[in-house]
């Protein structure tokens, strides 16, 4: 099914000036409801014209059941015009119909005793039999539940969505025609309800299903993975274990790394941030930098460039400048703004550590300059690093020097690292040629645009 995504088109028209903003690229792979939090964030950051953002919001809202919200936005945009009310009647009559077809299910869900009994049932067959006895539940009633769930979702009532998907997710077989859609729908409504623990479970369930390779073509799998990568950012940058898990999925599951390199290299920003902000994952740096170099022809931003300057070119001045730009990028990124402080702290440490590998004795004044700090601040920072046993060094306050405890890299080791990166570059070229040969295609079977 080829369908141009109106949302992506609308956003990329309005948003071209904010150089590092990825919202329009990301919007292509997100359900329209998932774009809302991003738009709200952009509105607060005021980097775009307010009316243009409102127009994008209105375009998205007109395709949902959030009629009153749409009318509010309409009034802001066109204060002197009558708002459209027909849509509301349509939405209300749809609810009446669905309420009728789900009456028995709703009654069952309101029956605490029976619901308690259901909670004790462990397998889907027992539950299905129970539902058949109680409400004569068959494919038709399942379909009504599904439609009701989707209806509430379009209303922006994500907890009601989950209520109606409850029986469905407990009983559905992988052969169910709605199977994939239900998994996507469940994930979306858990994300929008900010239930990160359940969202992570749903994300894993969906990933296992996609990776089990039981449906569709290789291309369809690639697209499903691309969506999953984008949706997963909500979970990974909110769940407390997320920034660790994101590295395992994006960098070390080859099918996902392949999807990132083929479809969405801009995701490298998020992967890089996860690696940079976690000191325990420093051993992933080499693998990450290799990918960044391969992709530098198709994607770069201050964050990926920071790593390139530091670990490929050993260009400390370049890294310092990029670190400043990184702060602006993170500050304006919906997913990353919460990591800003950790990012700066760790990035400084990386500059420092790399610098120390090459120089054994460093003047604090020079170091302060490289880290965008004043000398007192820098000395204080280094003292803390030494105190917390994160750095093997001594400070000579009289001379204003830091003296490293460990041996720096020998010139020979440095040469080996350079050669390593040269062969990576030729690999990258080959990769690029392969990629040019692969055609891009669009496909539209998201929850947000499925066959309702
Ligand atoms: C969601 O819908 C239910 C009815 O199904 C209602 O009781 C509840 O108040 C709604 N929640 C929100 C946030 O609108
Ligand atoms: C960093 O990585 C370690 C080891 O994988 C993990 O235990 C920890 O939770 C991670 N920290 C963050 C902030 O993600």
For ligand 1, atom 5: residue with the closest CA = 160
- Please say if the pLDDT value at position 428 is more than 80: no
Write down the pLDDT at residue 404: 76
Residue 331: CB atoms within 10 A of its CB come to: 11
Which pair of tokens denotes residue 152?
A: 């509430």
What is the rounded average pLDDT for all residues in the chain? 83
Give the pLDDT confidence score for residue 380 in this predicted structure.
Answer: 85
Evaluate: CB of 157 within 6 angstroms of ligand 1. yes
Q: Which ligand is nearest to the CA of 281?
A: 2
The owner of tokens 């992506």 is 8
Average pLDDT over residues 296-308: 95
**pLDDT, tens digit, for every residue of 182-195?**
999 999 999 999 99
Residue nearest to atom 2 of ligand 2 (CA): 280
Question: In sequence order, which ranges of 15-157 are alpha helices (DSSP H)?
Answer: 23-27, 32-45, 50-61, 67-77, 86-101, 103-109, 112-120, 124-135, 139-154
pLDDT of residue 13 exceeding 60: no
Contacts of 357 (CB under 8 A, 6+ apart): 408, 409
Query: What pairing do the DSSP bridges indicate for beta strands 393-396 and 361-363?
Result: unpaired
Residue from 98, 181, 172, 174 nearest 131 by CA: 172
Residue whose CA lies nearest to ligand 1 atom number 10: 157
- Among 231, 229, 312, 317, which residue's Cα sits nearest to residue 271? 229
User: Which of the listed residues 237, 238, 243, 244 should we mutate to test ligand 2's pocket, taking the one with most ligand atoms within 8 A of CB?
Assistant: 244
**201-245 confidence digits (pLDDT tens):** 999 999 999 998 777 888 999 999 999 999 999 999 999 999 999
Place 299 in a pLDDT band, splitting at 50, 70 and 90: very high
Burial of 417 (0-12, 13-18, 19+ CB in 10 A): middle
Cα 158 to middle of ligand 1, angstroms: 9
Residue having the nearest C-alpha atom to atom 3 of ligand 1: 160
**How many A from CA of 313 to the centre of ligand 2?**
28
Distances from the Cα of 79 to the Cα of 59, 75, 76, angstroms:
17, 5, 6
Burial 294-308, CB ≥16 within 10 A → b, else e: bbbebbbbbbbbbbb
33 C-beta neighbours (distance < 10 Å), count: 20
From ligand 1's centre to the CA of 160, what distance in Å? 6
Collect all residues with Cβ–Cβ distance below 8 Å to 330 and sequence separation of at least 6. 273, 303, 336, 337, 339, 340, 343
Whole-prediction pTM = 0.82
Tell me which of 33-42, 153-162, 235-244, 398-407 is least confident: 398-407
Q: Which two tokens stand for residue 284?
A: 């992933």
Report the alpha-carbon distance of residue 410 to residue 422 in Å, rounded: 19
């Amino acid at each position: 099914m080829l369908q141009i995504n109106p949302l992506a088109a609308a956003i990329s028209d309005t948003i071209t000036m904010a150089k590092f903003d990825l919202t329009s690229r990301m919007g292509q792979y997100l359900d329209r409801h998932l774009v809302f939090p991003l738009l709200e964030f952009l509105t607060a950051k005021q980097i775009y014209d307010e009316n243009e953002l409102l127009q994008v919001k209105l375009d998205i809202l007109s395709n949902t059941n959030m009629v009153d919200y749409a009318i509010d936005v309409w009034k802001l945009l066109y204060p002197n015009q009558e708002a459209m009310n027909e849509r509301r009647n349509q939405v209300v009559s749809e609810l009446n119909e669905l309420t009728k077809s789900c009456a028995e299910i709703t009654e069952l869900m309101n029956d605490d005793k029976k619901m308690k009994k259901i909670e004790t049932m462990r397998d889907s067959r027992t539950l299905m039999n129970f539902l058949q006895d109680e409400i004569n539940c068959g494919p038709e009633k399942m379909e009504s539940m599904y439609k009701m769930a989707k209806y509430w979702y379009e209303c922006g009532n994500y907890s009601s969505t989950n209520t109606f998907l409850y029986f469905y997710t407990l009983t559905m077989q992988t052969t169910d025609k709605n199977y994939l859609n239900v998994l996507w729908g469940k994930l979306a409504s858990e994300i929008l309800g900010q239930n990160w623990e359940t969202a992570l479970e749903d994300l894993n369930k969906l990933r296992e299903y996609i990776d089990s390779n039981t449906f569709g073509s290789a291309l369809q799998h690639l697209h499903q993975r691309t969506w999953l990568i984008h949706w997963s950012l909500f979970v990974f940058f909110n769940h407390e274990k997320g920034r660790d898990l994101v590295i395992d999925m994006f960098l070390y599951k080859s099918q996902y790394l392949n999807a990132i390199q083929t479809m969405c290299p801009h995701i490298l920003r998020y992967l890089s941030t996860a690696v940079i902000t976690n000191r325990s994952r420093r051993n992933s740096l080499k693998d990450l930098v290799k990918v960044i170099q391969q992709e530098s022809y198709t994607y770069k931003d201050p964050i990926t460039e920071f790593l390139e300057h530091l670990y490929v070119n050993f260009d400390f001045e370049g890294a310092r400048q990029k670190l400043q730009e990184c702060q602006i990028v993170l500050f304006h990124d919906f997913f990353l703004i919460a990591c800003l402080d950790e990012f700066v702290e760790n990035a400084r440490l990386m500059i420092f550590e790399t610098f120390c590998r090459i120089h054994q004795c460093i003047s604090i004044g020079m170091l302060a300059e490289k880290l965008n700090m004043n000398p007192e601040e820098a000395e204080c920072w280094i003292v803390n690093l030494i105190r917390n046993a994160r750095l093997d060094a001594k400070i000579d306050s009289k001379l204003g020097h830091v003296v490293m405890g460990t041996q720096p890299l020998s010139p020979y080791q440095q040469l080996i690292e350079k050669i390593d990166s040269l062969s990576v570059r030729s690999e990258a070229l080959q990769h690029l040629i392969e990629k040019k040969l692969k055609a891009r295609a669009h496909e539209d079977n998201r929850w947000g645009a499925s066959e309702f």
